[in-house]
Chains A and B, each alone.
Chain A
Amino acid sequence: MGLVPPLAIRSVLDNARVIAGVFIFAAVGVLSGCASLMPQTKELAKALPAGLPEQVELTATPFFPQTEYQCGPAALATVLVASGVKVTDQELVPQVYLPERKGSLQVEMLAAARRHGMVSYQLAPRFEDMMREIAAGTPVVVLQNLGVFSSGWHYAVAIGYDYQKGTLVLRSGTQERDVMPFAVHEVVWMRGGYWAMVTVPPDKIPATADENRWLAAIAALERAGDARSSRIAYRTFLGRWPQNVNAAVGLANTHHALGELSEAETVLRKAAATAPDSVVVLNNLAQTLSDLGRDQEALPFAERAVAAGGPFLGSAQKTRDSIAARLRSKTGGIERLQ
């Protein structure tokens, strides 16, 4: 007997897969009465959530057939191009692919989109939210686990559904139009905690955006260093939620970062009128005025920030001290001149 030829190993493996398949088939058959296996599909089968069309497919979504292991770059390129970015999957490989892991991490999928000026937003773990995004014209990256014995994490892009047939349409791997029953998608999607994300241009707001989580998504873009795009995103945000003081702080911070100090001042003064006790607003207004060379005017705001206290007291004290020091050195200079 010689060595077992590779083909034979493959067929043994395939057999193992088929056996596993039969087992799962049986298990699923037995369990399908049990709601816990696919709770959301069961819920969905009762009725289509209000306001959703029966059938959608974003046929204009581009397709990047993945090369080996690189579904992360392919899926990300698909949604980025759909949101108007000029990029290819190959250009994204050095931004999301981890060679030793032979794959891409979820955090990096979110982070890499920011490097292209998009706001990346993780959806609430719900079928309905995914469908709402698709219905609003936004393709959704989903993380599935297709493995039976080993882990088989895989990113695909959901681009449509047909409620009557109970199927989801995905750009997945090498398949341009992968049609998957809701139930199967739920089984493989659930294993990753129903993880899903969208990438959205800064002048738009996702259909399912939650006020606080969307604001955090914009702040993440700002943190990544894209002040221009996040400035647009904060403006768009304030158009929808004008009372949000934190968004005003964000808008002012982007103005400040771009050197637009008087714009920052205007935004912060307006915010200070709405939230007169916000340490952050007072501190940042004081700092902005000081940067404009108006330390005299800045000091009272800095004092108020310190008086308001709270978790940012340390920063407020530093700001006040530096403004006071600048004032002292200025007046000291004048006294010497006299």
Chain B
Amino acid sequence: MKSSWAKLLCRLLMVLMVWSPVQFAQAGMIGTDQVVTAASQTDRTTVLEFLGRADVATQMQSLGLDAKSATERVAAMTDSEVQMLAGKTNSMPAGADSTGIILLLLIVGAAVWWVWFRR
């Protein structure tokens, strides 16, 4: 019980944190990002969108970030990027390293090159 309340509280705080810097900007002006992304050429569905941002920020927190940096990182994304990430932060490719395999691929590559360019 306690933890679910804490979760709810966290979520609310996150929504507020994501919301506040944007909310006061340019009341009345239609934002450029709304205009140029063909997919979402409508009035922004404000609440849903900020919930989406809060969701992604929460997911990123669960992947080892603190609340502040998760919020800042989400703030640098566009709406469509947020939608792309929502629910998928765990499954999307995360570039890391694979130095051990490079040599192997070089050998494969050399073979391909040999076959390809020397024909």
Contact = CB atoms under 8 A, between A and B. Distances in A.
Interface of A: 17-18, 20-21, 24-25, 28-29, 32, 38, 41-42, 45, 66, 68-72, 75, 94-96, 98-112, 114-115, 143, 145-148, 151-155, 166-167, 172-175, 178, 180-185, 187-188, 192, 212, 215-216, 219-220, 222-225, 246, 249-250, 253, 256-257, 279-280, 283-284, 287-288, 290-291, 311-315, 318-319, 322
A146 B95 contact: no
Interface string B53-75: 00000001011110001001101
Q: Which 8 A-B pairs have the closest CB atoms?
A: A184-B109, A103-B94, A99-B64, A152-B98, A103-B96, A111-B76, A146-B98, A250-B32
Contacts of A101: 63, 89-90, 94, 96
B96 A153 contact: yes
A28 B81 CA distance: 36
22 contacts: A20-B104, A41-B116, A95-B73, A98-B63, A100-B62, A101-B63, A103-B95, A104-B95, A105-B89, A145-B93, A178-B102, A180-B106, A183-B112, A184-B105, A184-B109, A184-B113, A222-B32, A225-B75, A253-B31, A284-B29, A284-B30, A287-B29
B113 A183 contact: yes
A250 B113 CA distance: 47
B84 interface: yes
Interface in B25-58: 25-26, 28-38, 41-43
Given A219-B36, A223-B33, A224-B75, A98 B93 contact: no
Contacts of B85: 105, 107
Report the interface size class on chain B: 35 or more
A106 B88 CA distance: 12
Contacts of A250: 32, 35-36
B32 A219 contact: yes
A222 B43 CA distance: 18
A71 B76 CA distance: 20
A84 B62 CA distance: 34
Contacts of B107: 21, 25
Contacts of A187: 105, 108-109, 112
Given A24-B104, A174-B99, 10 more contacts: A21-B108, A106-B92, A109-B95, A172-B102, A181-B112, A185-B109, A220-B81, A287-B28, A288-B29, A314-B43
Interface string B6-37: 00000000000000010001101111111111
B93 A106 contact: yes
Given A100-B64, A111-B77, A166-B117, A28 B108 contact: yes
**Interface of chain A, helix or strand or loop or mixed?**
helix
B33 to A, nearest CB: 4
A220 B78 contact: yes
Most chain B CB within 10 A, of A72, A172, A184, A318, is at: A184
Nearest to A234: B32
Contacts of A28: 108, 111-112, 115
A154 B63 CA distance: 19
**Interface of chain B, helix or strand or loop or mixed?**
helix
Contacts of B116: 32, 41-42, 45, 166, 183
B18 to A, nearest CB: 12
A257 B33 CA distance: 14
B101 interface: yes
Contacts of B84: 107
Most chain A CB within 10 A, of B35, B90, B97, B109, is at: B97
A94 B76 CA distance: 13
Given A99-B63, A100-B62, A315-B43, A253 B115 contact: no
Contacts of A212: 36, 38
B77 A153 contact: no
Contact of A152 (B26, B37, B101, B109): B101
B110 to A, nearest CB: 7
Nearest to A248: B32
Contacts of B34: 312
